[in-house]
Structure 1
Amino acid sequence: MGESRWSRIIVAGVITGAVLVAFNRGGGQERAEVPPVVPSRIEIPSLGIEAPLMKLGVKGGEIELPPYEKPDHAGWVKDSVVPGDPGPAVILGHVDTKTDPAVFYRLKEMREGQAIKVVRSDGKVAQYRVDSIEQVSKHDFPADKVYLEDGLRLITCGGKFDWDENEYDDNVIVYATLVKPADPKA
């Protein structure tokens, strides 16, 4: 059920993009290309995290993951909103690698009320407040809550490691609300 909604969101985005491209053609005026705003870094002061962000796409109905070769990087799902803008923004990071902890190793330690900052390519910083943290089975992943509701979602693996499947059984999800929209740095 969540996959069909996610597919509809992607289709709606493609249609919206096509409409915007159509409206931008033939306007008669040359417009300077403005690079799109993307999140560039996540900061979680309570956990001592300052990590670069990379763009993650969706391929074959699955969200890409940051490469294991970059355990200190997190990834922003580029089909979600840019943090600081209204809507759901999703950032993923690994909990560990085969040999070491990764960027979101301590994510399960987050507590309600703690701050998360996302620095954007336009120099603005969006600040969020943690509302809740949950650990859920990957079989019961709350796709609607993660991908459709407003706010920032941080996701990593958690729970017991299944050696037969070579993955963790659960996801740790942090839900956060925007408290300070992306304003220029002071």
Structure 2
Amino acid sequence: MADSTRWSRIVMAGVITGIVMVAINGRGGDEEKPQARAPVVPSRIDIPSLGIKAPLMKLGVDDGRVELPPYEKPNVAGWVTGSVVPGDKGPAVILGHVDTKTSPAVFYRLKDMRQGQVIKVVRSDGKVAQYRVDTIEQISKNRFPADKVYLEDGLRLITCGGTFDRDENEYRDNLIVYATLVET
């Protein structure tokens, strides 16, 4: 009799555990699991004061070097996938060309940005991250402020600037816009 009481308790414990697991999960074991959601990514950048509305592409980092948007798509900017999604806490970095060999590109007018102006980034989840410009900095590419760009909170817009070095076939400086998140 003692054996049957012990087995009854074990079976009852198993049943209770099963009921608790179903209650916690909210479903039985043979129902389909929900599909994983696609990761949130930024899809467009809007800078109303400059008349910029540009699609965003993903830019990877390979061997410590950030990929650049293709020159064949001068009106597209790129979000660096190693940075946070704009609207989330942390540094979000977006790159764009200033020009091509034949015409201005997406960030051609970035030099005209002023403190206090608004930058909006539309995300794939329907949210819009809104930033306010803090400072604009033109700095030699040899002194690029990597810690300030890639470690501090906020949005960073980066393009080329300064004088064009014909021997190196590139601009000598970077133009960097630093902005703080004001709402998502």
User: So what's the TM-score if we normalise by structure 2?
Assistant: 0.82
Alignment deviations for residues 34-92 of structure 1 (CA, whole Å, 9 cap, x no partner): 10000000000000000000000011210000000000000000110000000000000
How many Å apart are 1:32 and its aligned residue? Answer: 1.5
Q: Distance in 2 between matches of 1:111 and 1:42?
A: 17
* Map of 2:25 onto structure 1: none
* Map of 1:33 onto structure 2: 36
- The question of 1:180 aligning with 2:183 is answered yes
Q: Distance in 1 between matches of 2:75 and 2:90?
A: 26
Q: Distance in 2 between matches of 1:135 and 1:106?
A: 14
Find 2:88's aligned residue among 60, 76, 85.
85
Find 2:114's aligned residue among 111, 115, 118.
111
Find 1:121's aligned residue among 119, 124, 138.
124
* Map of 2:21 onto structure 1: none
* Map of 1:144 onto structure 2: 147
Q: Distance in 2 between matches of 1:109 and 1:138?
A: 20
Report which of the two structures shows the higher radius of gyration computed on alpha carbons.
Answer: 2
User: Over aligned residues, Cα RMSD in angstroms?
Assistant: 1.1
Find 1:49's aligned residue among 32, 47, 52.
52
Output the amino acid matched with 1:135. Answer: Q
* Map of 1:3 onto structure 2: none
Which ranges of structure 1 fall in alignment gaps of 5 or more residues?
Answer: 1-27, 182-186
Output the amino acid matched with 2:35. Answer: A
Q: Distance in 1 between matches of 2:34 and 2:125?
A: 19
Q: Distance in 1 between matches of 2:45 and 2:120?
A: 6
How many Å apart are 1:31 and its aligned residue? Answer: 4.1
- The question of 1:58 aligning with 2:61 is answered yes
Q: Distance in 2 between matches of 1:143 and 1:153?
A: 11
Q: Distance in 1 between matches of 2:174 and 2:137?
A: 8
What number of residue pairs does the alignment pair up?
A: 154
* Map of 2:99 onto structure 1: 96
Output the amino acid matched with 2:178. Answer: Y
Q: Distance in 2 between matches of 1:86 and 1:30?
A: 30
Secondary structure in 2 matching 1:117: strand
Output the amino acid matched with 2:90. Answer: G
Q: Distance in 1 between matches of 2:169 and 2:56?
A: 25
Output the amino acid matched with 2:95. Answer: L
Alignment deviations for residues 141-184 of structure 1 (CA, whole Å, 9 cap, x no partner): 00000000000000000000001101000000000000012xxx
Secondary structure in 2 matching 1:89: strand
Q: Distance in 1 between matches of 2:139 and 2:172?
A: 9
* Map of 2:79 onto structure 1: 76
